[in-house]
Amino acid sequence: RIRRYKWDVKYEFKSPDCYKKLVIIINGRSPGPSILAQQSDVVVVEVTNGLVTENLAIHWHGIRQIGSPWSDGTEGVTQCPIFPGDTFTYRFVVDRPGTYLYHAHYGMQRAAGLYGSIQVSLPDGMAEPFAYDYDKSIILNDWYHKSTYEQAAGLSSIPFGWVGEPQSLLIQGRGKFNCSKLASPTLDPTACNATSSECLPYVLTVIPGKTYRLRISSMTALSALSFQIEGHNMTIVEADGHYVEPVVAQNLFIYSGETYSVLIKIDQEPSRNYWIMTNIVSRNATATTPPGLRVPPTGPPAGPIWNDVAPRLAQSLAIKARQGYIHTPPPKSDRAIVFLNTQNKIDGYFHWSVNNVSFTLPHTPYLIALKENLHHVFDQSPPPDRLRDFTNYDIYRVANNTNATSSNAIYRLKFNTTVDIILQNANTLTANTSETHPWHLHGHDFWVLGYGTGKFDADNDPKKYNLVNPIKKNTVAVHPYGWTALRFVADNPGVWVFHCHIEPHLYMGMGVVFEEGVERVGKLPSEIMGCGETKGFKRP
Ligand SMILES: O=C1O[C@H]([C@@H](O)CO)C(O)=C1O
């Protein structure tokens, strides 16, 4: 079956947390319309860029794009941007049931509000391995009052301008900023309107005794979150489109780009209300989402301690593939790549780097450059599989990466080989600081083989990999001063980004690109062309 959508994307003033700012909306909404489909459906989305002065591209997060690598929606990698006024049609198969996302993949547009949910149901006659009465999707987000232009300009300026912690957290597009906290009186009396209907709190009306499947996902620009429903436990049953062995939790830790399904039984006192709460963890921030209506009788429950890594690591370790749905990984890899994550300065500018290389995009998308043999559009020398002096690198010290460089070089993977990636976290440019980075891989799911604290030990840590029931995911956290090991098979012809899902971190170079089997990619649609070296390639 074909699911057709027609989207008009534009800017409008909105007040999702009562504060008025420019928001990117799809057909009038942010979050945009949900895509509801069934496994094996073809989804066709006709996107018209009505942003007037801005390019656009939309990524289908968690959809592997098997046979349609040009529909991945990554500007500079798989397509030219959609120019203002143009219409571009994305066409892809949703090959697996589960919970996925979509969002802008150009500049920092995601943080301006362009995101939404994709829910893929099972084929007729097939059942999930768990029961529920109702199915609801809730996207969590952090929200900034500064425009994404101001944010982006700050990131690439001297002195460095850092937007800092968000003003609000949004639950399904709604938050509540306390208007009396505005720093200076504003001339515009509508700039912050505490009674705007756009910032009414998100309310989940439930029926006692019923079980709810909540599809919780995070689209945060920066924040790692904890999510809980006061007084209720939840059972985690799905992560990034894969069933997991049920884990009962009081709160869910969720990182940008992750999706989970949790089951909640409505078994508490029916005469009162309970808080739906989200808090920032891993960074010292204060934004939460106070409700305005039908306030529960007691104050909001305290969230977890922000800098306590142990419970977050414990949840990461607890999540395993569900019995009966285990796909075991190949027992060995053909290539192991260690990605040391650091913050650097290059020519005085702040960057994030992988093995001392900060990633930049070429003007001509890689997919087209590779198919059309345009070798000069990007650096052809391969980036390193590990830092030359990784053994002596002290991950607990402020990095002294004087030799960091910027590059648009890519990793070329032999088709059908098995690749291990070890993400190694380290100290930032601030003493005693290491952040959480959620890494997202396009075009694949990977097995999460293990997590560890401290420095990865290439001789001993691989012996502890979970090859029995590892969960498959498309986004995984590397915890402060820790490492995360993953494995995937390079079997999807195309060019795929692997990057930190923190919007400013990708903007500052925290990513790499993999190419595999590009010679197997069929004829590229001319709609993806028209920029850089491909100006003349676009046929009417
Ligand atoms: O990229 C970042 O920059 C700041 C800080 O390291 C420098 O101000 C921060 O917290 C980040 O995550």
pLDDT of residue 398: 93
The per-residue DSSP string of 416-436 comes to T-EEEEEEE----SSTT----
Among candidates 255, 50, 55, 21, which has minimal Cα distance to 150? 21
Whether 121 shows a pLDDT value over 60: the answer reads yes
Q: How confident is the model at residue 289 (pLDDT cuts 50, 70, 90)?
A: low
Q: What does the pLDDT read at residue 152?
A: 97
Q: Please give the average per-residue pLDDT across 508-527, as a whole number.
A: 97
Ligand 1 atom nearest 505 alpha carbon: 1
pTM recorded for the entire structure? 0.97
Kindly report, residue by residue over 412-462, the tens digit of the pLDDT.
999 999 999 999 999 999 999 999 999 999 999 999 999 999 999 999 999
The predicted structure's pLDDT at residue 292: 55
Bridge partners of 232, per DSSP, are 229
Does residue 183 carry a pLDDT above 90? Answer: no
Residue type present at position 183: A
Nearest CA to ligand 1 atom 4: 162
Please state the rounded mean pLDDT for residues 258-284.
96
For residue 536, what pLDDT is reported? 84
Q: What pLDDT is stored for residue 123 in this prediction?
A: 97
Across 456-482, average pLDDT: 98
Rounded distance, CA 150 to CA 267, Å? Answer: 46
Secondary structure (DSSP) of 61-112:
ET---TT-GGGS--BTTTBPPBPTT-EEEEEEE--S-EEEEEEE-STTGGGG
Among candidate residues 122, 147, 160, the one with its CA nearest the CA of residue 13: 147
Given a contact cutoff of 8 angstroms between Cβ atoms, the answer to whether 401 and 427 are in contact is: no
Mean per-residue pLDDT of the chain: 95
Confidence bin at 186 (pLDDT 50/70/90)? low
Cβ(494)–Cβ(101) below 8 Å: no
Query: Which residue, by CA, sits nearest to atom 1 of ligand 1?
Result: 505
342: helix, strand or coil:
strand
Q: What is the pLDDT of residue 115?
A: 98
Residue 428 CB less than 6 A away from ligand 1: yes
Helix (H) or strand (E) holding 495: strand 494-500
Distance CA(30)–CA(38), nearest Å, equals: 23
Strand partners, 247: 236
Contact 379, 409 (CB under 8 A): yes
CA 248 to chain centre: 24
Q: Looking at residue 298, what is its pLDDT?
A: 86
E strand spans, 150-304: 168-171, 211-218, 224-229, 234-239, 242-249, 252-254, 259-265, 276-281
pLDDT at 406: 97
- pLDDT, one tens digit per residue, over 312-356 is 999 999 999 999 999 999 999 999 999 999 999 999 999 999 999
Contact at 8 Å (CB) between 33 and 116? yes
ipTM over 0.90 threshold: yes
CA of 57 to the centre of ligand 1 (A): 26
For a substitution probing ligand 1, which of 158, 345, 350 has the most ligand atoms within 8 Å of its CB? 350
So what's the pLDDT on residue 293? 60
Burial class (CB in 10 A: 0-12, 13-18, 19+), 62: buried
Distance CA 531, CA 78 (A): 12
pLDDT given for residue 538 in this prediction: 73
Identify the helix (H) or strand (E) that includes residue 154. helix 148-155
Q: Please tell me the residue having the least CA distance from ligand 1 atom 10.
A: 164
Q: Which has the minimum average pLDDT: 233-247, 281-295, 355-369, 458-472?
A: 281-295
